[in-house]
A and B are shown apart, each in its own frame.
Chain A
Amino acid sequence: MSGLSLYVDQGTYLNRLHPYTKLLYVLTAILVPLIGGKKILFAVTIASSILLLIIGKTLKRAVPLIAFSFTLIIVIFLVQGLFFHKNEIPLLSLGFLVFYREGVMYAAGICLNILNMLLSFAVFVLNTPPQELVEELEKNGFSSKFGYVINSVFQIVPQMMKTKDTILDAQRSRGMETEGSLMTRIKAFLPLISPVVMSALINTRERAIALEVRGFGRKNKKTFISERQKLKGDTVITALLFSLLILAVVWRVKSCL
């Protein structure tokens, strides 16, 4: 499978759902807690995203994403807990470091938001093939040339990475040092980058011809061959997600009155 796409076909129900339904889930999961304004809502959406990741058999693959965000989360807790401008009530002291309640609460808000966004996006990205999303967008009038650019990135960039490895080997074979001091690495830059760029340009030219002879420049309407049956679940879930959004707005308006 292409190296850049995080999607792996697991044959699950989540895989089969329409990309728009999953996109609406992302939107709902992010907006409902923000509109609702209660931290408990974050807990609900985070829990539901984790549940969906488990159902989609993708939790394991989401772990690196979450682990990466933890670095950011720790920094936020440190900075806000120690230095938030509204800090008043001390919560915890470690030697000379004093964490304040206000700062910690503020940091918790930000971190819940980050985690919520990440997890809901993970549900989408890990369960939707990029080509499928692009095709659906194209069907709705998105430019097919732009669509090509997005699709080809997923296929062609990994191939370029392989080319880069070959070039590295070719130059090392001619006695070029690629590891060591900063100066050595700077010296190695030109012999590596020139062939990468040139071979990409040569390939692009050939690929342009290949696309041209297959009607790429044609202005008529493109045909789509994949038959995407809208699942019953798509309608039900879309309706449910919309009602949640409306409910959140109504709740917020009511609580403001």
Chain B
Amino acid sequence: MSLIQIEHLKYRYPGTDRLALDDITLSIEKGEFIGIVGRNGAGKSTLGQAVNGLVPRFHNGAYGGKVTVSGVIAENTPVEEMCGHVGLIFQNPFNQLSGAAETVFNEVAYGLQNLGFPAQEIRSRVEEVLKQLDIWEYRERNPFELSGGQMQRVAIASILCMRPEVIILDEPTSQLDPQGTEEVFRVVEDLTDTGITIIMIEQKLEKLAKYCDRIILMEGGKVRCFDTPEKVFSREDLDECGVEPPAFTRICREYALTLQDGTYPVKLEDAERLFREKGVSPEKDAPAKIVSSGNEEVFRTSELDFSYIRNVQIFKGLNILLDERPTAVIGQNGAGKTTLVRLLKGLLKPVSGRIYFRKEDISGKTVAMLADKVGYVFQNPDDQIFKYKVLDEVMFGPLNIGMTEKTAREESLNAISLMGLSGLENVNPYDLELYQRKMTAIASVVAMDTDVIILDEPTIAQDYPGKRLIGNMIRELSRKGKLIIAILHDMDFVEENFERVIVMAHGRILMDGSADEVFAEDQVLAEARLQKPYITALREILGK
């Protein structure tokens, strides 16, 4: 018998009329690494939570069918008992910390303490997993003070020490920088060698394809396909399911390079082999992205010094000139990216030095004074949403900066349509999914019709159609002569959508140039701990 068996599973959340899971039947063997892909809202997380019994025991709602893990029926087993069999790790590392422990060691021990394991056993298990996940050195640190990647590893350790047979990871890397993502994937890869069954929901398909044995493709609460990554990502209906195949699959499809069984490769090695056999090298796409209207100076900083705490300098004598080209700022967490854009927005004040906006010194201006010139979309949309209708939320900014009701409404409706929210104007933003709330937040700033729009991590939690919408928005606004500045961790998105790329590390600008120039500089990327876009990497390997 399979480790996990799902038979005719149907589920509907309370207060909704749509089936979140619609007649799902599948089985998963012990030790398999399974990926779940699909557009936002396809039912991926719900399926994950059905395996550990949170659906229906925590969420309630209408439930039919049967899920068994190791012979235990999920529907009839209390979650606290089920957690011995199935562990769950989700997106936001911060919310997974219990809040009851002041050290990493105690945080990881917390679950075992609740389950009443003997103290000696708890200590040895915690030590074992902390060492296994390479976070033993942080054992005395306060978990809330760690970086996202470290925090997520603590969350994995907390689940791992309970020795579940199955671990479900629900987009565990979506809020992490490239290095944090790499840390998590490395750890998960090591886990598969220990015989643990992994189910991972993830939007980073290149990585998922590299590690998974099989992939579940979901659409509208149903399983479209459950097969090897090559078979799943070679399907013709992927676009319909809101999934973009991994970069290597896309490029091989373009060149009609197939594996022996007629599928397209999903991994770098396979793509490389096929290209070599055929003796071709992938051409660079025509630069469809160059669209900005001019190179006029927008921002200029002169000898900018900044520090949050006295004697701990973030910027020293920073000089930078930003023109109208869409600009991506990349680098690790802590590199100074957010600090830089907050200074430009006036949310922070320089310790010394000057900031000029269209040649006017704005160092002394307040945020409100700059509101009609510089827009800023925060990372978390829930930090700003407070109205009961999408349209009212989007109109809040335009009305604040003195637009008339009529203009504000027009601008807002345009922004709503640009961000793909048409038809949702009168919906309560809190009833929307996270990715839609994010679009609402972007629309609410776009509607203010500012000269500059700063985006902090706009692609987090977005699926392929969402990223495409954001890409279009960047092009559209650049064409109108607006400066778009974005902080990003998605290098493929950077390469596709930005003319200018600024690489930062330790409060310094390591490099400033076009995407091609930047991604060709191995040394700079290594120092900033960044990775190349996938196709660039493939092209380079083939060129060697």
Contacts and interface: CB of A to CB of B under 8 A. Distances in A.
B14 interface: no
B396 A218 contact: no
Nearest to A221: B116
B98 A225 contact: no
Interface stretch (A52-60, A76-84, A98-106, A204-212): A204-212
Contacts of A202: 382
A88 interface: no
A166 B118 CA distance: 42
Given A190-B386, A218-B116, A220-B115, A169 B95 contact: no
A85 interface: no
Contacts of B368: 172, 175-177
Contacts of B155: 210
B383 A224 contact: no
B258 interface: no
A215 to B, nearest CB: 4
Contacts of B384: 167, 170-171, 174, 191, 195
Contacts of A148: 98-100
A143 interface: no
Report the contact-size class of chain A (Cβ under 8 Å from the partner).
35 or more
A200 to B, nearest CB: 10
Contact of B95 (A129, A172, A206): A206
Contacts of A154: 102
Interface string A1-18: 110000000000000000
A215 B396 contact: no
A223 interface: yes
A159 B97 CA distance: 12
B533 to A, nearest CB: 30
A169 B347 CA distance: 7
Given A175-B368, A214-B114, A225 B106 contact: yes
A257 B24 CA distance: 86
Contacts of A190: 386
B397 interface: yes
A97 interface: no
Interface residues of B, number: 65
In this complex, which of A173, A177, A220 has the most chain B Cβ atoms within 10 angstroms of its Cβ?
Answer: A173
A220 B116 contact: yes
B95 A210 contact: yes
A209 B80 contact: no
B100 A209 contact: no
A207 B99 contact: yes
B333 to A, nearest CB: 16
A206 B93 CA distance: 10
Given A166-B378, A223-B113, A217 B99 contact: no
Contact of A210 (B98, B114, B376): B98
Contacts of B371: 172-175
5 contacts: A131-B101, A213-B88, A213-B111, A214-B83, A221-B116
Interface of A: 1-2, 129, 131, 147-148, 151-152, 154-156, 159, 163, 166-167, 169-177, 190-191, 194-195, 198-199, 202-203, 206-218, 220-227
